[in-house]
Amino acid sequence: MSQPETLVSTAQAVAPTLEGSVLVLMLYDMCEEIKLAELNQILGARRLARAFKHAAPEYVRFERPPVVEQLEPARIDGNLILNRQIKYYDYGVVSVIFEIPFAGEWEDLVTLSAKWMTGAVFEREAERLARAEIARAQSALIRPYSNWLSEDYFIFNIRSIAGNPTASELVQKRGADMARVVRGETFDLADSERTEVLQSSISYYPTDLSVVSWNSAFVYDTASGAETSIQLLEYANSQLLEFRHYDDLLTRELGSVYNFLKHSSVVFRRWRLGREAYKLQSVTVEVTELVERADNAIKFLSDMFSARLYRLAAAKVGVHDYKSLVNQKLHTAEDLYRFLIEGFNQARAFVLELMVVVILVIELVFLFHPRR
């Protein structure tokens, strides 16, 4: 595929300093679960093949590999050509991936990152594409959501740099530029901010480097070598979406229970505490099951580099923060469930005692005022 003119530096006739591509990931949490086998038949897509940093055929694997749908390239925003791909994860997340070839200088990449990370051209196109494609597969969706949560992430995969610098040389000489790229800034960053960005970097060989930030990453590696990093960055963002959904679900459910408790001071109304406890427990069990399924979606078996890369990516994009919030709310829900059950038991005991008193009163009435 020919490279769009807007992404190729025209300021010089010599070979460009940087060559690679920019990947735009737009992820949507659209349903509770996707039946991948049925979806695969509907779309005629393929399952995601394993990709590894080094030869280790069973070291990293998806429990249920996502279904991948490869689409024809498209042109948007004038002369911008996109390679397009959609991935469907079994836990209800759909990832739209745009890949744009790049060849140019460092300043070209800095300018593009600042423009695209603050724009909305990819967001509009990705949502349009996701809704059009998912409309074909409604039967494969379990409990689709009316409102979709979304996340976007940019990966600047540079496969070739003039001079073939090592990772340490690249950080030393171009650390400031890489920091600007992943932050989407055209101006130089403060030393402390640049240091913070570059601290979130990882390498396996001397000639590769991944710098991970909360909304983008700079990956210096070959196409095959970068595939592991790209997949794990995408997976981390899909996990973030899932935990955001669980957090919203628990927040709404806890708010509903708190609102009920505000108006349950009347003893007889507390009889409904059992029903509220059952609803809360059902949501808690459901979320716990979904969290476990999301946690177990990918396995790292002795591949310590991939595990470390995933932990770095998850920490930077916020997976750990939202997972902590979800766990805290699960604990709160469990405490609240016990409180509701205790209140229900007290209300039931009160009603039973009241019934006994009423029966005794009736018996006393008939005892002292027998019928004639």
Asked if residue 4 is part of any domain, the answer here is no
My answer on whether 243 and 212 are in the same domain is: no
My answer on whether 248 and 174 are in the same domain is: no
At 369, list the tokens.
Answer: 């005022």
Give the number of domains in the chain.
Answer: 2
Last-in-domain residue among 172, 189, 224: 224
Asked if residue 252 is part of any domain, the answer here is yes
My answer on whether 258 and 358 are in the same domain is: yes
My answer on whether 214 and 244 are in the same domain is: no
Asked if residue 358 is part of any domain, the answer here is yes
Q: How far apart are CA 149 and CA 245, in angstroms?
A: 7
Q: Which residue(s) pair with 75 in the sheet?
A: 81
Asked if residue 211 is part of any domain, the answer here is yes
My answer on whether 191 and 243 are in the same domain is: no
Tell me the pLDDT of the chain (372 aa) as tens digits. 434 444 554 444 578 899 999 999 999 999 989 999 999 888 876 555 444 344 433 445 677 888 999 898 988 877 788 899 999 999 899 999 999 999 999 999 999 999 999 888 899 899 999 999 888 889 999 999 989 999 999 999 999 999 999 999 999 999 999 999 999 999 999 999 999 999 999 999 999 999 999 999 999 999 888 988 999 999 999 999 988 988 898 888 888 777 777 765 544 455 566 666 667 777 777 777 777 776 666 766 557 888 899 999 999 999 989 888 888 888 888 777 777 667 666 666 666 767 777 787 777 777 677 665
My answer on whether 30 and 90 are in the same domain is: yes
At 81, list the tokens.
Answer: 């050509």
Asked if residue 315 is part of any domain, the answer here is yes
My answer on whether 220 and 240 are in the same domain is: no
Identify the domain containing residue 56 by its residue range: 10-224
pTM of the model: 0.82
Check residue 51 and report its DSSP letter. Answer: -
Answer for the pair 219, 232: CB distance below 8 angstroms, yes or no.
no
| Residue 224: Cβ within 10 Å count | 11
My answer on whether 50 and 132 are in the same domain is: yes
Three-class DSSP category at 30:
strand
My answer on whether 266 and 201 are in the same domain is: no
Answer for the pair 35, 54: CB distance below 8 angstroms, yes or no.
no
Position 350 scores a pLDDT of 60
My answer on whether 218 and 240 are in the same domain is: no
Position 49 scores a pLDDT of 45
Picking from 110, 117, 115, 112, the residue whose alpha carbon sits closest to that of residue 181 is 110
Asked if residue 230 is part of any domain, the answer here is no
The secondary element (H helix, E strand) that includes residue 259 is helix 223-262
Q: How far apart are CA 100 and CA 351, in angstroms?
A: 70
Position 52 scores a pLDDT of 38
Last-in-domain residue among 201, 224, 247: 224
Q: Which residue(s) pair with 305 in the sheet?
A: none
Q: What is the CA radius of gyration of the chain?
A: 28
| Residue 146: Cβ within 10 Å count | 5
Asked if residue 202 is part of any domain, the answer here is yes
Position 29 scores a pLDDT of 95
Q: How far apart are CA 210 and CA 114, in angstroms?
A: 19
My answer on whether 51 and 138 are in the same domain is: yes
Position 354 scores a pLDDT of 73
Asked if residue 231 is part of any domain, the answer here is no
My answer on whether 297 and 360 are in the same domain is: yes
